[in-house]
Chains A and B, each alone.
Chain A
């Protein structure tokens, strides 16, 4: 109970400081009197006794100080005093406070915003039970479906393998299968209007293996995933439920998706977005319904239809090595017995030999964003770290100058008994206060900024919907950063400021100030700032130049004046035959008659939408390593090439001759033509998809089209081939329209036209082809923009630093300048005298900064296009800019010095 008494007494003392002070005074007075009394009795005179008693006690204040330091509440009291004092001091110089707080807010805010993005994209665990026990089969770096037998680590698995494996394995308490892509479907709830619904297909074990309990109703179970077509149930996501007004009667309602009715059996708990970071399905639907959701995905009984991610939960006590051994044993047995027939080929045997499953941790879910963003985030983290360092160095030099100005105040306080540590503590309190103010402002802006960053980085609405508001972890990170920052910039100036020669400082003579070490620390800080901002400027100019290069890439097609409509033809409920082709042709014709529309066409891909690639076998041309690379395929309408402005350079385009029952035709691009027919015309030759020579006569080449970019702007020329959709019937999601005039009038007109042809084909989104092209470089753009923004701000901070340092130097040297001018120095001499000082610092800063910039830029090499990281133009631009700005910042105080009137300067001593 001793601590309790200590605590209560301490608090009562804290809240009645006068009483404590009074009692202490009284006790000391009593002590003195008793002491004097004793001395009087020993024979001293009353006067001598009183003096002797006082001498024995020494300074009463010192004794009181010792008594106070015996109890804890004094620490609190001192802190409180320091805080009040700091507030007064900061309020007294608002300009300094403003600059300091704003530059820290910038540094801390930038770091917080980028850390919270990092946290969401790279670090945060799934909100599930014991995420550490979850493992993913393979590394998740694939999506879609494959019928290959990969001779490496497998990433996608078939439904029959999932079934067989989950029965036989001994190391996992459960296994679940997740379709590797999310389906954008359309449906309606309880007969209401049609809306876009993102569906994730999962096995019945999904929720139980992840350990996610129902928010409302129930989650999916094994019973929902038994026979194909039997599981007409759906679990809604929390955000979908929220968008529908938190409908208490949602569970039990019917949702019609693509012509099938599902019963909503439950709502997932708040915060659970699914397994893939950045995707947020509206519904989880049993895998048994995959054919109903999308007819192309009919693979429940096909062991070659490998399209699933497998996620499993380790049994308690099972090590990763045991799990991997057991998994691979079962896997090899399975592929030997199921995939290889009686007499497997040598190649298949060799492939199986190298096939294996890598188990990777799934604690953080599967994040494709991780791969996409890890490099930009690393670069941005470095940049924002540098900005914070510059802000710290800047603040440290401001504090140094302030310390010099306040040296008389410190000397006075130390002379009347303050200890040095007490003053240092008070100065650090001031620094902490600046840092905390900066942090508060920084976090407030980071809240908005990280969302903005995400929106800039991704044009998909679902990614932008991710929750990036700073959570406790982020706030903890910021707090640590803040304290670290305060110590970093506050410590050295505080120690410097209190290292005083008391007499000299109290006399305060401007002439007495020798070029002190304080001053050289300030110079050092300026050099650091110059070097670091040179690194930022060099990086920024590199990214900007790279972006310009990307913008100048020839895409092949003309990206201007093309609208890309996203639609869902599957909703029209037509079979994959001539009826669907007829619908597509009617839509194209109807839209082409809209005023302002020049051409319109369906296509499988426009730009940067994924790829369908396979090797090709050309009749009469032997396969070589050079020509057996994959070719990119696209399925398009007859008007595709005119819509994209891709000229046919030989042969013909697709037209009404190409029908479902006419011979199959294709148009190839120049790269493919050159690869297989370097010296002759490819028109009339035949090829087949795949490496089997038997099919090489199936498709006739009828034309050659200009090269284009297909997946990225950075890609080297790719071989590509186009097929007419009349011969490859399919449901399309892309519809391109080339127009003249105002897009805002064209868009509703095209929507109306599609609606008139068939009201069951919903159009979900429209963007321009130019936007699609721009979106493919969003990473580069965001890095270029932010590094540009940060480097300009950092340079501005450096200017403030240089200006402050020189102004201080000029003030200190006023009388010296006066003497020089009285002795005949000209104004230009004085100007040069001051300016020379800063030019030396700039030169040193640049000399340090250049190798740093070269080393740092190597980190960015992967993000650069058409430039080497050591690009001399960017570096020279950065150096020139730095030099110009630093000279400008130094010129103002130097000019002020040159205008000093010698008589005035000398008289003021």
Chain B
């Protein structure tokens, strides 16, 4: 039910997921929750876009998954970063930094 503030820049969702998973392996809801908390509620990711993104990234090899038990002893699918994913994160972060810096310069000019 995210409002206007939740609109994400095209293509940034995968970068955010990569960054979140870089800390530790997490299940789907954990990723959504972490993104919402860290962004202080600005980004709310609904499962309709999060889970397809994870499926896509898994197919591309930047994350892998395994079934584990949660803290409440339930089975859940945990996602973790691969070497490919780590490299993708570095690259995308660098590219993002360059782009935002450039945009900022333009806006301040």
Interface positions of A (Cβ within 8 A of B): 2, 5-6, 9-10, 23, 26-28, 30-31, 33-35, 37-38, 55-58, 62-63, 66-67, 69-71
Q: How far is the CA of A55 from the CA of B51 in the complex (A)?
A: 16
B50 to nearest A CB, angstroms?
9
**Would you call A57 and B27 a contact (CB within 8 A)?**
no
B20 to nearest A CB, angstroms?
15
* Complex contacts, A62 vs chain B, CB 8 Å: 48
Q: Which residues 40-78 in B have Cβ within 8 Å of A in the complex?
A: 46-49, 51-53, 55-56, 59-61, 70, 72, 74-77
Q: Interface size (B, Cβ < 8 Å)?
A: 25
**Would you call B52 and A37 a contact (CB within 8 A)?**
no
Q: How far is the CA of A35 from the CA of B74 in the complex (A)?
A: 13
A36 to nearest B CB, angstroms?
10
**Known contacts A30-B75, A56-B1, A70-B52: A9-B59 contact under CB 8 Å:** yes
* Complex contacts, A28 vs chain B, CB 8 Å: 47, 51
Q: How far is the CA of A894 from the CA of B56 in the complex (A)?
A: 60
Q: How far is the CA of A37 from the CA of B47 in the complex (A)?
A: 16
**Would you call B72 and A63 a contact (CB within 8 A)?**
no
**Known contacts A66-B52, A71-B56: A33-B28 contact under CB 8 Å:** no
Q: How far is the CA of A6 from the CA of B53 in the complex (A)?
A: 15
Which secondary structure characterizes the binding site on chain B? helix
Interface check B6, CB cutoff 8 A: no
**Would you call A34 and B29 a contact (CB within 8 A)?**
yes
Q: How far is the CA of A62 from the CA of B53 in the complex (A)?
A: 15
* Complex contacts, B15 vs chain A, CB 8 Å: none
Question: What would be 7 A-B contacts, judged by CB atoms less than 8 Å apart?
Answer: A2-B84, A30-B27, A56-B1, A57-B48, A58-B48, A70-B53, A71-B59
**Would you call A67 and B29 a contact (CB within 8 A)?**
no
Interface positions of B (Cβ within 8 A of A): 1, 27-30, 33, 46-49, 51-53, 55-56, 59-61, 70, 72, 74-77, 84
* Complex contacts, B56 vs chain A, CB 8 Å: 70-71
**Would you call B75 and A26 a contact (CB within 8 A)?**
yes
The chain B residue sitting closest to A73, CB to CB, is B59
**Known contacts A30-B27, A30-B74, A37-B72: A57-B55 contact under CB 8 Å:** no
Q: How far is the CA of A297 from the CA of B68 in the complex (A)?
A: 96
Which 3 A-B residue pairs are closest in the complex by CB-CB distance? A34-B29, A70-B52, A30-B76
**Would you call B46 and A38 a contact (CB within 8 A)?**
no
* Complex contacts, B1 vs chain A, CB 8 Å: 55-56
Q: A30-B28, A30-B76, A56-B1 known; 9 other A-B pairs, CB under 8 Å?
A: A6-B60, A23-B77, A26-B77, A28-B47, A30-B27, A31-B27, A57-B47, A62-B48, A63-B51
The chain A residue sitting closest to B57, CB to CB, is A70
* Complex contacts, A26 vs chain B, CB 8 Å: 75, 77
Q: How far is the CA of A35 from the CA of B76 in the complex (A)?
A: 13
**Would you call B33 and A27 a contact (CB within 8 A)?**
no
Q: In the complex, which of the residues A37, A55, A70 contacts B59, with contact meaning CB atoms closer than 8 Å?
A: A70
Select the residue from B29, B46, B47, B77 with max chain A CB neighbours within 10 A: B47
**Would you call B48 and A63 a contact (CB within 8 A)?**
yes
Q: How far is the CA of A62 from the CA of B49 in the complex (A)?
A: 11
Q: In the complex, which of the residues B33, B49, B55, B60 contacts A2, with contact meaning CB atoms closer than 8 Å?
A: B60
Q: In the complex, which of the residues A2, A34, A56 contacts B76, with contact meaning CB atoms closer than 8 Å?
A: A34
**Would you call A35 and B55 a contact (CB within 8 A)?**
no
Q: How far is the CA of A71 from the CA of B53 in the complex (A)?
A: 10
**Would you call A35 and B29 a contact (CB within 8 A)?**
yes
The chain B residue sitting closest to A2, CB to CB, is B61
The chain B residue sitting closest to A69, CB to CB, is B52
Q: How far is the CA of A595 from the CA of B28 in the complex (A)?
A: 105
The chain B residue sitting closest to A9, CB to CB, is B59
Q: How far is the CA of A5 from the CA of B64 in the complex (A)?
A: 12
**Would you call B55 and A71 a contact (CB within 8 A)?**
yes
**Would you call A33 and B74 a contact (CB within 8 A)?**
yes
* Complex contacts, B61 vs chain A, CB 8 Å: 2, 5
**Would you call B46 and A67 a contact (CB within 8 A)?**
no
The chain B residue sitting closest to A59, CB to CB, is B48
Q: How far is the CA of A31 from the CA of B52 in the complex (A)?
A: 13
* Complex contacts, A63 vs chain B, CB 8 Å: 47-48, 51
B51 to nearest A CB, angstroms?
5
**Would you call A27 and B77 a contact (CB within 8 A)?**
yes
* Complex contacts, B77 vs chain A, CB 8 Å: 23, 26-27, 30
A543 to nearest B CB, angstroms?
62
The chain A residue sitting closest to B55, CB to CB, is A70
A526 to nearest B CB, angstroms?
47
B5 to nearest A CB, angstroms?
17
* Complex contacts, B55 vs chain A, CB 8 Å: 67, 70-71
**Would you call A58 and B76 a contact (CB within 8 A)?**
no
**Would you call A30 and B48 a contact (CB within 8 A)?**
no
Q: How far is the CA of A35 from the CA of B50 in the complex (A)?
A: 14
A68 to nearest B CB, angstroms?
8
Q: How far is the CA of A5 from the CA of B29 in the complex (A)?
A: 26
A64 to nearest B CB, angstroms?
9
Q: How far is the CA of A35 from the CA of B44 in the complex (A)?
A: 13
Q: How far is the CA of A63 from the CA of B59 in the complex (A)?
A: 18
A750 to nearest B CB, angstroms?
83
**Would you call A34 and B47 a contact (CB within 8 A)?**
no
Q: How far is the CA of A35 from the CA of B30 in the complex (A)?
A: 9
* Complex contacts, B60 vs chain A, CB 8 Å: 2, 6
A133 to nearest B CB, angstroms?
50
Q: How far is the CA of A38 from the CA of B31 in the complex (A)?
A: 13
Select the residue from B52, B53, B56 with max chain A CB neighbours within 10 A: B52
Q: How far is the CA of A265 from the CA of B8 in the complex (A)?
A: 81
* Complex contacts, A66 vs chain B, CB 8 Å: 48-49, 51-52
The chain B residue sitting closest to A24, CB to CB, is B51
B53 to nearest A CB, angstroms?
8
Q: How far is the CA of A409 from the CA of B26 in the complex (A)?
A: 44
* Complex contacts, B76 vs chain A, CB 8 Å: 27, 30, 34
* Complex contacts, B33 vs chain A, CB 8 Å: 34, 38
* Complex contacts, B52 vs chain A, CB 8 Å: 66-67, 69-70
**Known contacts A5-B61, A23-B77, A71-B56: A31-B29 contact under CB 8 Å:** yes
The chain A residue sitting closest to B53, CB to CB, is A70
* Complex contacts, A67 vs chain B, CB 8 Å: 51-52, 55
The chain A residue sitting closest to B72, CB to CB, is A37
Q: How far is the CA of A2 from the CA of B85 in the complex (A)?
A: 12
**Would you call B29 and A30 a contact (CB within 8 A)?**
yes
B25 to nearest A CB, angstroms?
14
The chain B residue sitting closest to A57, CB to CB, is B47
The chain B residue sitting closest to A37, CB to CB, is B72
The chain B residue sitting closest to A63, CB to CB, is B48
**Known contacts A27-B28, A63-B47, A69-B52: A6-B72 contact under CB 8 Å:** no
* Complex contacts, A35 vs chain B, CB 8 Å: 29
Q: How far is the CA of A67 from the CA of B55 in the complex (A)?
A: 7
Q: How far is the CA of A399 from the CA of B29 in the complex (A)?
A: 48
The chain B residue sitting closest to A30, CB to CB, is B76
Q: How far is the CA of A69 from the CA of B52 in the complex (A)?
A: 8
Q: How far is the CA of A5 from the CA of B27 in the complex (A)?
A: 22
A185 to nearest B CB, angstroms?
72
B97 to nearest A CB, angstroms?
25
* Complex contacts, A38 vs chain B, CB 8 Å: 29, 33
Q: How far is the CA of A34 from the CA of B56 in the complex (A)?
A: 22
The chain A residue sitting closest to B62, CB to CB, is A2
